[in-house]
Chains A and B, each alone.
Chain A
Amino acid sequence: MIALAQPSTGQESPAGTALLHLEHITKQFGGVKALDDVRFEIRRGEVLCLAGENGCGKSTLIKIISGVHQPEKGATMLFEGRSIEGLNPSTARQLGIQVIWQDLALFPEMSVAENISFESNLGTRPRLVNYAAMKVQAERILERLGVRLDLDALLRTLPIAQRQVVAIARALIGEATLVFMDEPTASLSQAETDALLVIVRRLSAEGIAVVFVSHRLAEVLDVCSRVTVIRDGRYVGTFPTQGMTQTRLTELMTGKTFDYAVQQRDLAGAPVILSVKNLSRAPNYADISFTIRRGEIVGLTGRLGSGRTELALSLFGMSRPTGGEITLEGRSAHFKSNREAIRAGVAYVSEDRLQLGLVQPQSIADNTVMAVLDDLIGPDRLISMTRRNTLVDDWIRDLAVKIGHPENAVSTLSGGNQQRVVLAKWLATNPKLLILDSPTVGVDVGARAGIFAIVHRLAEAGMAILLISDEIPEVYFNADRILHMRDGRIVGSYVPGETEIDAIEEAVHA
């Protein structure tokens, strides 16, 4: 079960040449050891990934390096070979250590220039703001990054990708030597991510070291030269990304080996549940044709913006196709609303669990029964609380949702358990076709296997499943067939096992 990796010590440079070298870092919060004898090292101009599951101690380590927390006694902290014990946020900043947290911490009501040059204005005399100087300064930094932005635009009017750039620019205002980026690509599209990675490489070329914290393993392997893995507060090792696979990295992060095997099932004889013919909806997708059989899992992959979610929404009755035909169990389907789709046996697990998948402040129980209210009506034409509670208890048990109390807010659950509640909600409608749109976004690597175990069980029971994901291994190891969508069209169809995973990755990310 446990496959511990051997750290490749040969890849680490001697402490003398490192920009930052930490050893024996331990941090205790009350009775809990958040970090236990961790080491960390980065060279000048290096792009390093800090990987680990939620709660493994990554944030604590970043806070120690940026001077927010002090490590316990016995730690060695060297910056360019000099000891930096007793580091505090202000000295960390003087050394050029900058952290860009996931929430960016920018000022939405201030302009781009003000956001970038804000800090250089603090504590200066005369105590007046020199807007002209601010703009010049901001302009110079954006130029360095190779980005053009309207300096006078209010930050809140910018898309998230540009705000990210502003946050990076702000980090560079003082002579930065080491920049931490916490989940910088979590809300970016593929194109925006690519643009960000270009900026990261520019920084690296300037000699600035960048530490990348990301859940997206594919891009981690793409942009970083080495990856440092932390698990449960302990140092697992630092590995070169060359030759590293997503599967192996996942194993290192979770300490578990996953049973990765390609599906090999013969479903040719199974009846067709969903048939889509020449389906089009301008400008989202065009000429889409495919079928899903009973018990079949069809993977649909493609970059963000390829039209995959729009296609799913049409199958779910949320938008109407402008041409082509949808056939569900042999009957032509023209859904006027998602209510009709649900009644016909279609369920849709949204990629946006926070905003669309669940009503976060409301209870686990109410979220579970939300799609089947009609079934709860008792003989007195009112909602039967007995039926509601029985239904909720049954599903919670069936999907092994780990909860405190069904009347607690669903927002109190972890990502993986929230996703189980979403599944429970839809399974209660007894669907024939289940559409899963990026079902593991924001779900810990370890909890993903649990979600897919449920999905496979449903397929075995005869449900037709459309699995949408931009993580190729996810579709490769879970689907019977993979469709590749680009610019609104299906441009490829693969069978895992017959086509190598690398070939598919190449086709999708090319």
Chain B
Amino acid sequence: MMSTRLVRRTDRGGLLSLVDKDVLGLLALLLVVIVVFGATAPGFLSATTFTSVAFQLPELGLLSLAMLMPIISGGFNLAITFTANLSGLAMAYVLQSHGGVDAGVGFFVLGVLAALATGALVGWLMGTIIAYTGAHPILVSLSTMIFVRGLGEFLTRGGDISGVPGYVQAIGQGTVFGIPLPLLVFAAAVLLWTIVLSRTRLGFATRMIGSNIEATRYSGVPTRRSLTLIYTLSGVMCAIAGIVMLARFNSVRVGHGESYLLITVLACFLGRVDPFGGFGRVLPVAIALVILQVIASGLNLLGANQHLSTALWGGFLLLIMVTRSIWASQVLQMTFGKR
């Protein structure tokens, strides 16, 4: 019976085309959005729009990447925005205590390290608790969020810390060959996350844990260490977001970017990440982020009342979901029709 060879040498091109279907679908959606706003919003198809999207995208984008890994592992990180604030605060503190606007490059590097360490520490704390107590990530990260916010508010007395050296502001506001620096930071982060998720043992463990942590543990994958690392990396990504935010606004305030929290979740789901964990890739999420940002910019240009534009934005998203479900059921019908 060993001689029954029913397996063909496998053709993995099939997988590749499957993968691209996600990406192509989202790119098509992006095109539709651009065409719609190009036709309706005056001055939409201009360098200004590009620049505004390019400067706004990275903050939300970096925070979405911080949300992505916990979601794929079947969890959540609700502390992302406040972790970013606290990390920015650590950097601002280092700069402030060494000359403020006149701080040297050495202290800038020290500040960045302090921010990264802060983010990593918060993430590590969360990850350790989740891994070793088995408490639900929503509860643990929610508690962490409250803790981190309180800590930040205590340290800043509710105010903001502002004034960073000019060259730091360049990170948030400068361009290289016309490309905004924050966008380059984001692109590098996307590349890094793609490699981590698709080519490292941690990325592999993240997906497996998201689908079934016990079966993963039985296979000898160190699930606790992996979970700790997932949240630590999430914290590091928050710190990068915090640094970019500090550089862009020349100040840091606890609560800044708070409204991004749920949008990062939305971006992940729009980017075809499985809400129940186990599946998700970086590139579709990145495209989903661009779509979200383009819609926001387009509505701005249409001159919608600022409050109304939020409602319109939400409406647009609902429309996308409905369209997608109709699309899916039609594909289903076509498959059944063939039978």
Answer yes or no: do A and B interact.
yes
* Complex-state Cα separation, A186 to B222, whole angstroms: 32
CB distance from A466 to the nearest CB of B (A): 16
Known contacts A373-B204, A450-B1, A403 near B7 by CB under 8 Å: yes
Q: How many residues of A contact B (CB 8 A)?
A: 41
Known contacts A342-B220, A382-B199, A396-B7, A405 near B14 by CB under 8 Å: yes
CB distance from B196 to the nearest CB of A (A): 10
Which chain B positions have C-beta within 8 A of A338? 217-218, 220
Is B2 in contact with A400, judged by CB distance below 8 angstroms? yes
- For window 156-206 of B, CB contacts with A under 8 Å fall at 195, 199-201, 204
Is B6 in contact with A402, judged by CB distance below 8 angstroms? yes
Which chain A positions have C-beta within 8 A of B215? 355-360
B201-224 near A? 1/0 per residue, CB < 8 Å: 100100110011011111111100
Chain A, Cβ-Cβ closest to B216: A359
Is B220 in contact with A400, judged by CB distance below 8 angstroms? no
A297-328 near B? 1/0 per residue, CB < 8 Å: 00000000000000000000010000000000
* Complex-state Cα separation, A338 to B201, whole angstroms: 18
* Complex-state Cα separation, A393 to B212, whole angstroms: 24
Select which of A366, A401, A449 is within 8 A of B7 by beta carbon: A401
Is B208 in contact with A370, judged by CB distance below 8 angstroms? yes
Is B221 in contact with A373, judged by CB distance below 8 angstroms? yes
Is B218 in contact with A397, judged by CB distance below 8 angstroms? no
Chain A, Cβ-Cβ closest to B274: A361
B101-132 near A? 1/0 per residue, CB < 8 Å: 00000000000000000000000000000000
Is B9 in contact with A382, judged by CB distance below 8 angstroms? no
* Complex-state Cα separation, A377 to B199, whole angstroms: 9
Assess whether B5 is interfacial by the CB under 8 Å rule: yes
Is A407 in contact with B204, judged by CB distance below 8 angstroms? no
Chain B, Cβ-Cβ closest to A313: B218
CB distance from A68 to the nearest CB of B (A): 22
In this complex, the interface size class of chain B, counting residues with CB under 8 Å from chain A, is 20 to 34
Known contacts A371-B219, A397-B7, A407-B14, A361 near B278 by CB under 8 Å: yes
Is A348 in contact with B218, judged by CB distance below 8 angstroms? yes
Chain B, Cβ-Cβ closest to A340: B220
Which chain B positions have C-beta within 8 A of A403? 7
Which chain A positions have C-beta within 8 A of B7? 393, 396-397, 400-403
CB distance from B50 to the nearest CB of A (A): 34
CB distance from A343 to the nearest CB of B (A): 8
Chain A, Cβ-Cβ closest to B214: A356
Is A382 in contact with B200, judged by CB distance below 8 angstroms? yes
Which chain B positions have C-beta within 8 A of A401? 7
Known contacts A397-B5, A397-B7, A400-B4, A350 near B278 by CB under 8 Å: no
Assess whether B338 is interfacial by the CB under 8 Å rule: no
Assess whether B259 is interfacial by the CB under 8 Å rule: no
Select which of A361, A373, A449 is within 8 A of B201 by beta carbon: A373
CB distance from B10 to the nearest CB of A (A): 5
* Complex-state Cα separation, A348 to B208, whole angstroms: 18
Assess whether A491 is interfacial by the CB under 8 Å rule: no
Which chain B positions have C-beta within 8 A of A82? none
Assess whether A339 is interfacial by the CB under 8 Å rule: yes
Known contacts A371-B219, A382-B195, A457 near B10 by CB under 8 Å: no
* Complex-state Cα separation, A382 to B194, whole angstroms: 12
Known contacts A356-B215, A359-B208, A383-B204, A453 near B9 by CB under 8 Å: no
Is B200 in contact with A383, judged by CB distance below 8 angstroms? yes
Assess whether B15 is interfacial by the CB under 8 Å rule: yes
- For window 1-60 of B, CB contacts with A under 8 Å fall at 1-2, 4-7, 9-10, 12, 14-15, 18
A-B residue pairs, 9 tightest by C-beta: A382-B199, A342-B220, A370-B219, A407-B15, A359-B212, A361-B211, A359-B211, A371-B219, A339-B220
Residues of A within 8 A of B (CB): 318, 338-339, 342, 348, 350, 355-362, 366, 370-371, 373-374, 377, 382-383, 385, 389, 392-393, 396-397, 400-403, 405-407, 425, 429, 449-450, 453, 457
